[in-house]
Amino acid sequence: MCSPDDPSVALPLLDGGHELLFIGTRGGMEAEVIARTHIPLAIVSSGPMSRTSLTRAVGGLAASAVGTAQALPIVKRFKPDVVIATGGYTSVPAVMAAATLRTARVLRGTKIALIEPNVEPGRANRLMANVADEVWGAYAETGKFFPKKFVLTGIPVRAEIAARPTQVEARRSLGLDPKLTTVLIFGGSQGSRTINVATSAMIARRRLPRTWQVLHASGERDHEWMKAERKVETSGNRYHLVKYLDDMALAYAAADVAVCRAGASTLAELAAVGLPSILIPYPHAADDHQRKNARLFAGHNAAVVIEDTGLDPDSLYWALVNALDPDKNVVMRLGAAQLAHPRALDIMIERIIKGKIGTR
């Protein structure tokens, strides 16, 4: 196995005769994820392409240039047949290194595929698309940004998300009443202060229908004060507060509606399980991609959108009433399911193995 700090170590031959190498940045989530696999990890520099700060923009470009120089010998030594970029600025050094080596004919026949998980691409992905052979995406609407290179594949989700248990089984496993309508609220791995505050106030001030129960993952930051508030209010609402949800497959299966942000991975999972949602786009997301994602889901009747600045106990409550209306809920489930791509990973692998990248 290759040491994360020493990619020169011989790479292992994986099942099927295919070698893999992951190139990422120090401190990124990939370091933690890849550490749990047998895939070698090489570390390079990179930086975001800020629109709001000239200093940060220059710093990001400089970091990406350094990262590309670091990636050149790594990619040259590995000699990839295919480079898959998962999108964003962290992918820039490896992609630009591969493109440079291909242009210089050091690499011959190497294909570059870019994954665009959002409705509208950010600046890094638009830049990389110029040298990519294909762009893989989740939504037909994304194709207009890459008219000659786009392939609708969908975005892969974990197998356990799709192979979820029944709703009754999931609710029992989570300690919930299997007969009650279930609202799932979460804000991502770190939680969301806006969602947490609105939810806490709604639980304290309103008497929710007795047929409802709420499962809320607050994240670590807000958990203690939210837990303390629940000790003093006596609304009688069926409210279950947890710090984290270790098994999102169970949570999705248990729910009738989800309240959450509009990140690409979350939306792919909501579509995969056909779960209606109330989406609160993170207002500071790069290139405002969460708002654009949320609007697309709303346009397909899969979600109700509340802007971050408009989220309060009342707007959240009435959005839940709307989404949990039986007829509306069925329409939203169908809308979410129609955005799913259950064969996303199979399609990507097929295009790699059969040499289809760059062909239409």
pLDDT tens-place string over residues 22-65: 998 876 666 677 777 888 989 898 877 666 666 776 777 788 89
pTM, 2 dp: 0.89
pLDDT at 5: 37
Q: Per-residue pLDDT tens for 107-131? A: 999 999 999 999 999 888 999 999 9
What is the rounded distance in angstroms from the CA atom of residue 228 to the CA atom of residue 188?
22
Measured over the CA atoms of residue 44, residue 133, residue 81 and residue 37, the dihedral's sign is positive
Architecture of the domain made up of 160-337: 3-Layer(aba) Sandwich (3.40)
Tell whether domain 15-155+343-353 is in CATH 3.30.70.141: no
CATH topology identical between 15-155+343-353 and 160-337 = yes
- Domain limits of the chain? 15-155+343-353, 160-337
Pairing mode, if any, of strands 22-25 and 150-152? unpaired
Q: What is the DSSP letter of 28?
A: S
Better-scored residue on pLDDT, 230 or 327: 327
What is the rounded distance in angstroms from the CA atom of residue 121 to the CA atom of residue 179?
42
